[in-house]
Amino acid sequence: MVQVDISQLSAECSSWRETLRQLRDEFNNDEVKLRQAATPNLSRELLQDVEHLHNQFHIQLINIHDLKQAIKSHERQLALNEQPEAQQASHDTLFAEYQSLQATLKDLRTEFNEFLHRTR
């Protein structure tokens, strides 16, 4: 049976939360850039893109917040050091969610950069 290293799991959680904080800040900055790019003289198609991107930023910022809170809760459970095997399974699930969110955010960032390129 594999021994679960609680300190390593806690360190990973801290790293994930720090990365999510950075991503939150970056997407908040991108939202400001989006508002600046949303001038009245944009075409109807580009204005629809602005609305879509604004909605996506809002949704993904909520997703970042929710995942950060789930990780924080998981860290508290790790500190209690109860049922380490169950904690490992929970950790693995959170890691999968973290990776999935990172992929989604990367795709959104690409979409946003393409939008900015089209508005120049």
One DSSP character per residue, 5-71 reads: -HHHHHHHHHHHHHHHHHHHHHHHHHHHHHHHH--TTS-HHHHHHHHHHHHHHHHHHHHHHHHHHHH
Cα separation, 39 vs 90, whole angstroms: 45
**pLDDT mean by block of 10 residues, the chain; 120 residues:** 74 97 98 93 94 98 98 92 82 97 98 95
What pLDDT, on a 0 to 100 scale, did the predictor assign at position 3?
A: 57
Task: Determine, yes or no, domain membership for 1.
Answer: no
What pLDDT, on a 0 to 100 scale, did the predictor assign at position 9?
A: 93
3-state class of 79 per DSSP? helix
Task: Determine, yes or no, domain membership for 57.
Answer: yes
Task: Determine, yes or no, domain membership for 19.
Answer: yes
Cα separation, 27 vs 17, whole angstroms: 15
What pLDDT, on a 0 to 100 scale, did the predictor assign at position 32?
A: 96
What pLDDT, on a 0 to 100 scale, did the predictor assign at position 110?
A: 98
What pLDDT, on a 0 to 100 scale, did the predictor assign at position 80?
A: 86
**Residue 67 backbone zone (phi > 0: left; psi -120 to 50: alpha; other: beta):** alpha
Domain range spanning residue 58?
6-119
Task: Determine, yes or no, domain membership for 58.
Answer: yes
| Tally of structural domains, the chain | 1
Q: What is the pTM of this model?
A: 0.92
